[in-house]
Chains A and B, each alone.
Chain A
Amino acid sequence: MANVTLRNVVKKYGVLEVVHSINLEIADSEFVVLVGPSGCGKSTTLRMVAGLEAISGGEVQIGGRVVNDLPPRERNISMVFQNYALYPHMTVRENLGFSLKVAKQAQPVIDDAVDKAAEILSLTPLLDRKPGALSGGQRQRVAMGRAIVRHPEVFLFDEPLSNLDAKLRTQMRVEIKKLHQKLKSTIIYVTHDQVEAMTLADRIVIMRDGHIEQVGTPLEVFENPLNTFVATFIGSPPMNLLDAVVKDGKLAFSDGTLIAIPPGYSLAEGQPVTFGVRADNIMPVGHALPHGEHMAEVEMEVNLTEPLGTETLLFSVLAGKEVQAKMFNPRPVQTGERMTFQIMLDKCHLFDAETGAALKR
């Protein structure tokens, strides 16, 4: 197993720079998820680690060894691809054993490794089938099996679950997590799905436009987003953001609504800020969870409801912006109904109105 270090890594296609000087330290046996919207450079970064894309600048180290100029086969990595990338003309057994075969391992060694991997991923009954005769989830398991057979130092996953249906995705997510606990290997996992990122990662790396926006544990990035992008990208539904100005020691929204400043912030009079609150922290009176001592109240009209069972999502508009709130122990709500909402100020965030960077408490 090995740690992975990215130092000032740059990717350019001609003059177009798509990854801008990225720095990242991944510890041995850590599960790191790169997450971000499409085109943010996360897959490109992963492919540079794999050796499938040339590195235009900077340095990638695997296990303390600079691998910039090494071909993939000398980097001791395995990769699971989005489209499985199985060899269609080989059986599952041949697919699994292929890397050992080209490494000229003895047949008993190959058989042994294949049987073990098949055991771990419950592929044993499928060993003599061809990929064409497998379902999507089975193919994905074969792709994972192919990766673990080699005992690589680092596993790379490139959006491995995005071709599966929702139910299977949840199931495979659990399997991947179990696999990591069993193998204790270093994993770099790319996804655009923040739920996958939250559930799998030891640490999440949030990327946008070829930059790293924030690195942290799932709870860190959820509770202390460094900027409005992370705040809206991580968590579902996305954090509500409202423009506000400090007025007479309170926050004033553009429609004149006033609420108290969340505790711990010191702001100047007249300072423009962006106020952020998650749906979990804005709840109609009488349908709220136990909360802290700092509260604010606003009145809003409900435009739309999304019943989810244990809670109902309420869509309203405050100061010209859509606000999503959660109603716990829900009762039926008519659209157009006016309700009073409690905001848990302790859990709210303030960001710089111009840069979007989080303000310090």
Chain B
Amino acid sequence: MKRLKLPPWLVLLLPAIIILSAVVLIPLVFSLYSSFTSYRLTRPDSIFNWVGLFNYEKAVTDVKFWAAFGRTVLLLAVALNLEMLLGLGLALMVSKVTSGQRLLRTMMMFPMMFSPILVGFQFKFIFNDNVGLVNNALQSLGITDQAIPWLVDGNLAMFSIIFAEVWTATSVFGILILAGLYAIPRDPLEAAKVDGCTSLQSFRYVTLPFLMPFIYIAMAIRSLDVARAYDIVQIMTNGGPARRTELLWTLIGRTGYVDARMGYANAMGYISIFLAIFFTVYFFKKLTQSRRELGMGA
């Protein structure tokens, strides 16, 4: 019997090929395939029920899907910009601190150390309309005598979620921008002083251009994070009330696991991925561009 002889390059690559296909390729192909079927978790044999583009057509014409899509973009836009501005302010202040800066930097990281699930529970309590901290504080201070329905009113619920999101992730911007501040060479700043800049002008014309690459790195990282936001929302509002805080992934998660319509959920997932890819590519383009402007090469 003739033994099968594989070429050496294939033998050497085989472990990597096996691992990659087990971890990445097979799930990817399987989920892509299932998005063309009416696969339901409760009826495994439905995996063989090919429905073509039906799931995609359904998602594209589904108002609920596009509402969740829009809400996710809104969350991205508002949360990222707020985090950037707050993080920038935080970093600028911390960089001016002369003693105890190390301690402050560590403290800045605290919010990042909590699981988003716990943060969700914490803010669910803080914004609770009966026993929550915020309402208690507002009522004790006499600012209002009513219980404000933070997590029940649609707009307020969205606000509460953004608040929690900003609380956890502002320090990502803070830390990265602080690193950027440390990396700015001293000479151009001094030259700007001699050239007649006020401190505001120095910031606008010299500091900020140097910080832009760091801001875009933070944006790219955070846009991936926020585009897949799930945990905080799931805990705080579960996408409610009446789907007013439904984001892409809470919708997809519910469709896949609660309604068991995995094929449809996968189809929505594949459309949603483009959102994350779009933002990441966009911010990386901006990053490269701002680096090139600083003469740091592509």
| Interface window among A73-81, A110-118, A318-326, A346-354 | A73-81
| Interface window among A96-104, A232-240, A302-310 | A96-104
Instruction: Find residues 197-227 in chain B having any chain A CB closer than 8 Å to their own CB.
Output: 197-198, 201, 205-206, 209-210
Query: Is B196 on the interface with A (CB-CB < 8 A)?
Result: yes
Chain B, Cβ-Cβ closest to A132: B295
A-B contact pairs, 18 of them (CB 8 A): A51-B194, A73-B193, A73-B194, A79-B191, A81-B187, A81-B190, A81-B191, A83-B187, A85-B188, A87-B191, A87-B209, A88-B188, A88-B296, A99-B196, A102-B195, A102-B197, A146-B195, A156-B194
Q: How far is the CB of B269 from chain A (nearest CB, A)?
A: 40
Query: Is B293 on the interface with A (CB-CB < 8 A)?
Result: yes
Instruction: Report Cα–Cα, A139/B188, bound state, in Å.
Output: 13
- Contacts A130-B295, A132-B295 given; indicate if A87 touches B206 (C-beta within 8 A): yes
Query: Is A167 on the interface with B (CB-CB < 8 A)?
Result: no
- Contacts A85-B188, A87-B206, A89-B209 given; indicate if A72 touches B293 (C-beta within 8 A): no
Query: Is B294 on the interface with A (CB-CB < 8 A)?
Result: yes
How many pairs of A and B residues are in contact by the CB < 8 Å rule?
A: 73
- Contacts A73-B193, A77-B194 given; indicate if A88 touches B187 (C-beta within 8 A): no
Instruction: Find residues 209-240 in chain A having any chain B CB closer than 8 Å to their own CB.
Output: none
Q: How far is the CB of A95 from chain B (nearest CB, A)?
A: 9
Instruction: Please tell me which one of the listed residues B190, B205, B293, B294 contacts residue A102 in the complex, with CB atoms under 8 A apart.
Output: B205
Q: Which residues does chain A contribute within 8 Å of B185, judged by CB atoms?
A: 83, 85
Q: How far is the CB of B287 from chain A (nearest CB, A)?
A: 14
Chain B, Cβ-Cβ closest to A131: B295
Query: Is A1 on the interface with B (CB-CB < 8 A)?
Result: no
Q: Which residues does chain A contribute within 8 Å of B192, judged by CB atoms?
A: 87, 98, 102
Q: Which residues does chain A contribute within 8 Å of B187, judged by CB atoms?
A: 81, 83-85
Instruction: Find residues 74-125 in chain B having any chain A CB closer than 8 Å to their own CB.
Output: none
Query: Is A286 on the interface with B (CB-CB < 8 A)?
Result: no
Instruction: Report Cα–Cα, A133/B292, bound state, in Å.
Output: 12
Q: Please report the total number of A residues contacting B with Cβ < 8 Å.
A: 28
Contact with B along A284-315 (1 / 0, CB 8 A): 00000000000000000000000000000000
Query: Is A86 on the interface with B (CB-CB < 8 A)?
Result: yes
Instruction: Report Cα–Cα, A132/B205, bound state, in Å.
Output: 18
Contact call A102/B194, Cβ cutoff below 8 A: no
Instruction: Report Cα–Cα, A79/B194, bound state, in Å.
Output: 7
Which of B190, B194, B197 has the most chain A CB atoms inside 10 A of its CB? B194
Which of A81, A88, A89, A103 has the most chain B CB atoms inside 10 A of its CB? A89
Instruction: Report Cα–Cα, A131/B209, bound state, in Å.
Output: 15
Instruction: Find residues 21-58 in chain A having any chain B CB closer than 8 Å to their own CB.
Output: 50-52
Instruction: Report Cα–Cα, A132/B295, bound state, in Å.
Output: 5
Instruction: Report Cα–Cα, A247/B279, bound state, in Å.
Output: 90
Interface size class of B (residues with CB under 8 A): 20 to 34
Instruction: Please tell me which one of the listed residues B188, B193, B195, B295 contacts residue A52 in the complex, with CB atoms under 8 A apart.
Output: B193
Q: How far is the CB of A267 from chain B (nearest CB, A)?
A: 52
Chain B, Cβ-Cβ closest to A75: B194
Q: Which residues does chain A contribute within 8 Å of B196, judged by CB atoms?
A: 72-73, 99, 102-103, 150
Q: Which residues does chain B contribute within 8 Å of A83, judged by CB atoms?
A: 185, 187
Contact call A89/B194, Cβ cutoff below 8 A: no
Q: How far is the CB of B291 from chain A (nearest CB, A)?
A: 10
Query: Is A71 on the interface with B (CB-CB < 8 A)?
Result: yes
Q: Which residues does chain A contribute within 8 Å of B197, judged by CB atoms?
A: 73, 102
Q: How far is the CB of A287 from chain B (nearest CB, A)?
A: 49
Q: How far is the CB of A185 from chain B (nearest CB, A)?
A: 15
Q: How far is the CB of B85 from chain A (nearest CB, A)?
A: 21
Contact call B193/A72, Cβ cutoff below 8 A: yes
Closest 10 CB pairs of A and B: A132-B295, A85-B187, A73-B196, A99-B195, A85-B191, A89-B209, A88-B295, A79-B194, A89-B293, A72-B193
Contact call A73/B191, Cβ cutoff below 8 A: no
Instruction: Please tell me which one of the listed residues A77, A78, A87, A150 contacts residue B205 in the complex, with CB atoms under 8 A apart.
Output: A87
Q: Which residues does chain A contribute within 8 Å of B294, judged by CB atoms?
A: 88-89
Q: Which residues does chain A contribute within 8 Å of B188, judged by CB atoms?
A: 85-88
Chain A, Cβ-Cβ closest to B212: A89
Instruction: Find residues 225-242 in chain B having any chain A CB closer than 8 Å to their own CB.
Output: none
Instruction: Report Cα–Cα, A81/B293, bound state, in Å.
Output: 22
Chain B, Cβ-Cβ closest to A79: B194
Instruction: Report Cα–Cα, A78/B198, bound state, in Å.
Output: 15
Instruction: Report Cα–Cα, A86/B295, bound state, in Å.
Output: 11
Contact call A102/B193, Cβ cutoff below 8 A: no
Q: Which residues does chain A contribute within 8 Å of B191, judged by CB atoms?
A: 79, 81, 85-87, 146
Contact with B along A108-132 (1 / 0, CB 8 A): 0000000000000000000000111
Contact call A51/B201, Cβ cutoff below 8 A: no
Contact call B195/A73, Cβ cutoff below 8 A: yes
Instruction: Report Cα–Cα, A287/B23, bound state, in Å.
Output: 87
Q: How far is the CB of A114 from chain B (nearest CB, A)?
A: 13
- Contacts A85-B187, A87-B206 given; indicate if A71 touches B201 (C-beta within 8 A): no
Contact with A along B257-298 (1 / 0, CB 8 A): 000000000000000000000000000000000000111100
Instruction: Report Cα–Cα, A203/B191, bound state, in Å.
Output: 26
